[in-house]
Amino acid sequence: MPFVKRDKRGVVIAVSQKPGSGCSEELSKDDPALAAFFTGITSAASPLDASDQDLIRVLEDVVDLLIAKGLILFTELPVDAQQKIMRRQQMRSAITNTLDLISED
């Protein structure tokens, strides 16, 4: 469960995995105030940044599809590209496991 800090109006302004630094109130991961906080962060990014992130995800999916269909071999990619793809897959897996946004319950 995340811990949050609120401003004088009661709006969540900080989130932490552990209590401290003013983040003392524990919220459930599906609390609307927490969702509003994350929506505010993502909407603050420029449209081009959001587009870049979307495009990166599309390119990752295209590479995965080409490999799955046997059109390219992962080992045919440059070593730097292999390392970057593996690092992003590991980060995405770690984030997915940490956040557990969709529970199987």
Rounded to two decimals, the pTM is 0.47
Cβ atoms 10, 37 nearer than 8 A: no
pLDDT tens for the 105 residues of the chain, in order: 789 888 899 888 888 888 888 888 888 888 888 888 887 776 666 677 778 888 888 999 999 999 999 999 999 999 999 999 999 888 878 776 665 555 555
Beta bridge partners of 23: 20
Residue with tokens 């995340």: 2
pLDDT of residue 70: 95
Residue with tokens 């995405």: 92
